[in-house]
Chains A and B, each alone.
Chain A
Amino acid sequence: MKLKKILPQAITLLVVIIIFGFFTMNAQLNMENRGIDFGYGFLSQESSFDVQFSLIEYSGSDSYARAYLVGLLNTLLVSILGIILCTILGVIVGIARLSPNYLIRTTAAWYVEFFRNIPLLLQIFFWYYAALRALPLPQDAEAIFGASYLTIKGFYTPSLIWENLDIFIYSVIAAIIAIVFVRIQAKKLRENVGKHLPVLNISIVILFVLPLLTFLFGGVNVGYETPELKQLAKTSFKFEGGLSIPPELLSLVIALSLYTATFVAECVRAGIQGVGKGQREAASSIGLNRKQVLNLIIMPQALRIIIPPTTNQYLNLTKNSSLAAAIAYPDLVLVFAGTALMQTGKAIEIVSITMLTYLTLSLSISFFMNWYNAKIAIVEK
């Protein structure tokens, strides 16, 4: 009886081990025959190539490990920006699809059907080459709001120069803690006494006033640096100074968030429609206004339907960001699984590291979203 239970499992395990063993041995033999070494020692070697855009200090005299970090941070940057933008856009479009207004509803539906049904890579190419064709050369660019420039070589905008930035950041953190405290107290008041505090207004006041005080008393000061046009050759110009965002990042973020937002919008629409009509009617009948119905009755229930499929979309966006390689945005795939792989020839090592990295990223997002999902799940009383 016991054997009957264990045997199929043991056989499965055996088959898996044999398959893995076979491929490992095969790879080893082949690599030995062709004189290829296996090892991760190359990570500490000098990379000797430069990267266009990096969030940390990096030059070709740094190690491959640091080049990996540069690529990883660039991937994270584009993923986080994409997730934030696609969520905002997705929620707006999702709600718009249920709007009683015909024009809004139809526009939203058209947007979803259009962007959802065109391959993402094509959209990335479209935004990139459209940007390259449509944007002016630096010397022809018109200023936006007086000091920002959108050119073929990137978006240039004034950057802030802070004094005592740390104090300012501490004050923001303190403000956030204070807001959390206010919310908890407000909830207690509501549940115990039945009194409603204008939590949102109080939060906004705290968020602005506390950091503002540091300007007056904390010695915090902010200046700015504007981009200046510089001539490189007779017809070749560029902007220097300020904050510059390369067109590759811009078009990648636009393409990824426009594409993923369509799926998020559908999740949101499905979530809202998934809440029973009776809930809305019951809420209205006990005297809640429209805003309260949405915030207190519909959304808490809709979120439970929205979160799991939206998690998938966040994962997709993160993985899709690897298409960056097509338009020269130096993400993990381009920098590490591209240039570094080519220069070292360590295909198995580099691909395995890259795969593990994406796996870790995806699992982290999934873990966080599961935690959030569990937090908002119905707690039976």
Chain B
Amino acid sequence: MFKYLKQLTSLVAMVAVLFTFTTETMAAKKSKTLKNTQKKGFVRCGVSQGLPGFSNADAAGNWTGIDVDVCRAVAAAVLGDASKVKFTPLSAKERFTALTSGEIDILSRNTTWTLSRDADIGLTFVGVNFYDGQGFMVRKSSGITSTDQFKNGISACTNIGTTTELNMRDFFNSRGISYEPVAFEKADEVVAAYDAGRCDTYTTDKSGLAAQRTKMSNPDEHIVLPETISKEPLGPVVRQGDSVWEDIVRWSLNTMIEAEEYGITSGNADMMKTSDNPAIKRLVGAEGEMGAAFGLDNDWNYRIITQVGNYGESYKRNIADTGILPDRGPNELWTKGGILYVPPAR
């Protein structure tokens, strides 16, 4: 009886192992994620549950934001249509599990690139689409104008499962200030609690503070303090182990940034096809074989620029014009005094 059982289990095990090996070798030639995406006909993209400027859905369910545009760029590149994206709103807590378990293929959700996240949990960060830093928001009426005025016993509202919780501890500990952390699962709950007066300060990435301020019952009553207590490079993330897909997402983002550098916009991309500058021609698919390595056609980057626009257009549309952060600060091109600098597309 038991002999039989043992044989049967080992048989099942062998079949299972064999099956995985065969699929693995086939996938090695071409990206498994790319193949699945093209078969499905849409890009599966994880976004926030609503952060104006980054990823936010309007009443009709249309998503906008610079994080959303990264996914749209990938959809334009691999499917030819920037609208073919399925967005999955995720909390900070759920986001990595959703990605590693294969529920989504790109996580573009104002996620900070850190060593432990990159190395430990099966993720790969492909770049930075927003340079941010953690700050504090307080009520104007409190008279606080700098974090130097924080006193023992201050209560701080924040999100769980973010780098914010760790930075906050480092910040208060290094200054020897005792504090009460009040950590919620969803950003909307943090805002509601802070707005009601549960906390003296609300801390998260400064872009987040600026965006959430617009949701307060009276935005003018609140100010963001000038100090930045951490580096928060935010960028899209993919699963570890599919380097072709990783490259596609990385270069979709890079294309948007480099297009701005060369002055290529959604409006003039057609004209740029006949430019004298080979670097520009490469970016609009008029020269070189820039898509073959990814298993894409040559117009992939042209489609990104015409359908989504360059980084500057995306920033203006989503963040500057909505009044969240009119000043680009470090998110300006390196040629204009910022730190946006991407490797050349050649």
Contacts and interface: CB of A to CB of B under 8 A. Distances in A.
Contacts of A247: 198
Q: How many A residues are at the interface, by size bracket?
A: 35 or more
Interface in A4-59: 6, 10, 14, 17-18, 21-22, 25-26, 29, 31, 33-37, 48-52
B156 to A, nearest CB: 10
Contacts of B16: 22, 25-26
Contact of A233 (B97, B144, B165, B192): B144
Contact of A339 (B5, B122, B160): B160
B109 interface: no
A1 interface: no
Nearest to B154: A232
Contacts of B155: 153, 238
Contacts of B97: 347
Interface stretch (A193-201, A326-334, A370-378): A326-334
Interface of A: 6, 10, 14, 17-18, 21-22, 25-26, 29, 31, 33-37, 48-52, 60, 129, 132-133, 137, 152-153, 230, 232-236, 238, 240, 247-248, 325-328, 330, 334, 338-339, 341-345, 347
B337 to A, nearest CB: 35
B151 A233 contact: yes
A234 B200 CA distance: 11
Nearest to B149: A233
A327 B169 contact: no
B70 to A, nearest CB: 21
Given A31-B122, A347-B97, A326 B185 contact: yes
A14 B8 contact: yes
Nearest to A13: B5
B61 interface: no
B197 A132 contact: yes
A10 B153 contact: no
B198 A14 contact: no
Interface of B: 1, 5, 8-9, 12-13, 16, 20, 92-93, 96-97, 100, 116-117, 120-122, 138-139, 141-144, 149, 151, 153-155, 160-162, 165-166, 168-169, 173, 179-186, 189, 192-193, 196-198, 200, 239-241
Contacts of B240: 34-35
A155 to B, nearest CB: 13
Contacts of B122: 31, 34-36, 345
Contact of A325 (B9, B166, B185): B185
A34 B100 contact: yes
B180 A52 contact: yes
A328 B182 contact: yes
Contacts of A37: 120
The CB with the most chain A CB atoms within 10 A, among B138, B144, B180, is that of: B180
A33 B183 CA distance: 34
Given A233-B151, A326-B189, A328-B182, A22 B92 contact: no
A21 B5 contact: no
A185 B296 CA distance: 90
A343 B182 contact: no
